[in-house]
A and B are shown apart, each in its own frame.
Chain A
Amino acid sequence: MAVTNRIRRSMIFLNTQRAALVKDAFVYHPDCVIFDLEDAVAEGEKDSARIQLYQTLKHVDYQGVERWVRVNALDSDLVNEDIRAAVAGGTEGIRLPKTETAAEVKEASAKITAAEKEFDRPVGSTMLMAALESPLGVMNAYEIATADDRMMGIALSAGDYTRTMHAKRTVAGTELFGARSQMLIAARAAGVMAFDTVYTDTDNEEGFKKELQLIKDMGFDGKSCINPKQIGITHEIFNPSAAEIKHAEHVLQAVNDSKENGVGVLTVDGKMVDVAWVEGAQRNLKLAKAAGIYKGALV
């Protein structure tokens, strides 16, 4: 089983070409880093970034932060070597850009399998994440998400999507509602995680917070970040609040008590417990525990 279950609130893109960025980005405590070999890297420096990637994966202890690699597009002449370097270095996962079909996922997976065999890594140990960057990709979200056992999640990439949709980027994110909803439904149906696109206006903290609140309420698992300062804010919004944690504790405590006492009707804080609350309460406490803000024993 390739896909590991863990908290992935933030995934920060790092331009692998830049030594200063990749040497110790774990100090910002993101849940995941994405070493970028694609858009951030200048054409003439693809080789240099790839070798830096390999040496970083191999020699820099990322202190438990999950390491992903965004490879170049499947139709480029760079992707094979990108995957070989990433797998040889021992990356936890590969993010495939511009994914439009399930066949592409299968093709990437086959390349990863070949690399795993070549470099003596357990076959199937490298996860995959697909970035949906076009209307076709969004339409095929469910097929993409279920195309392969390696699939950990799907991520929206709004730049190209908005362009091809003839839409305008808005502060409210009106143009992304369709894509966000569609891919989220697909991800949940497929049982994989869902990640939202980057927020490019890095100086606009208020706008960033609003967008985070929106995608959290929609049900996203996390967000792609482009600046280290976005990590703390992302965690702040994605973490359950103190009130949510307290409520979740009460719900689960009531469930436990009822099991012991055989009481049929549950009430918490004076209200009858809806069965739907229990799952949400468990999810919140698990998230809080993974985030290090809940130390209790209820989950």
Chain B
Amino acid sequence: MKVTTQAIAGTLESSDAQVMILPHSGSVKVELTSSVFDQYGDHIIALAKDTAKTLGLEDGLIKIVDKGALDCTIKARIETAFYRMTGQTADLPWEVL
């Protein structure tokens, strides 16, 4: 699936992350701003790419502003932004998320 419109999820509160998904052709690109960039930057970028792959995203820009969120929150915000972009609200494939 390719990103056609933009979508946003999450907040800038402590322990949360705000994720935007935007059209970007060619590949999945991750842009990260993080309060813990030095320590977890590479890890978060890998997590975002992995999540995108699971969701079947072929291209798009994932912009993350991270405020020290745990993995489960970062993943959740990316998935929320993704489903907001696709408009799917029911019958999510929970077993693979």
Task: List chain A positions with a Cβ less than 8 A from chain B.
Answer: 18-20, 23, 47-48, 51-52, 54-56, 58-60, 80-81, 84-85, 88-89, 119-120
> CA separation between A105 and B15, bound complex, in Å?
36
Inter-subunit contact B89/A55 (CB<8 Å): no
Given A48-B80, A60-B72: A20 and B15 interface contact (C-beta under 8 Å): yes
Inter-subunit contact A51/B70 (CB<8 Å): no
Does B13 touch A at the CB level, under 8 Å?
yes
Interface residues of B in 38-97 (CB under 8 A from A): 69-73, 75-77, 79-80, 83-84, 89-92, 94-95, 97
Given A47-B89, A54-B94, A55-B73: A23 and B80 interface contact (C-beta under 8 Å): no
Given A60-B72, A84-B92: A19 and B79 interface contact (C-beta under 8 Å): no
CB neighbours (8 Å) of A55 from chain B are 72-73, 75-76, 79, 97
Task: List chain B positions with a Cβ less than 8 A from chain A.
Answer: 9-11, 13-17, 69-73, 75-77, 79-80, 83-84, 89-92, 94-95, 97
Please indicate which of the listed interface residues A47, A89, A120 has the most CB atoms of chain B within 10 Å of its own CB: A47
Inter-subunit contact A51/B95 (CB<8 Å): no
Residue in chain B with minimal CB distance to A80:
B90
CB neighbours (8 Å) of B91 from chain A are 81, 84
Residue in chain B with minimal CB distance to A58:
B72
Given A80-B90, A119-B95: A54 and B73 interface contact (C-beta under 8 Å): no
Number of A-B residue pairs at CB separation under 8 A: 70
CB neighbours (8 Å) of A51 from chain B are 76, 79-80, 83, 92, 97
Inter-subunit contact A88/B94 (CB<8 Å): yes
Inter-subunit contact B83/A85 (CB<8 Å): no
CB < 8 Å neighbour of A52 from B13, B14, B71, B73: B73
Other than the given A52-B72, A56-B72, A89-B94, 11 more pairs (CB < 8 A) read A19-B15, A19-B73, A20-B13, A23-B72, A23-B73, A47-B83, A51-B97, A55-B72, A55-B73, A56-B76, A88-B94
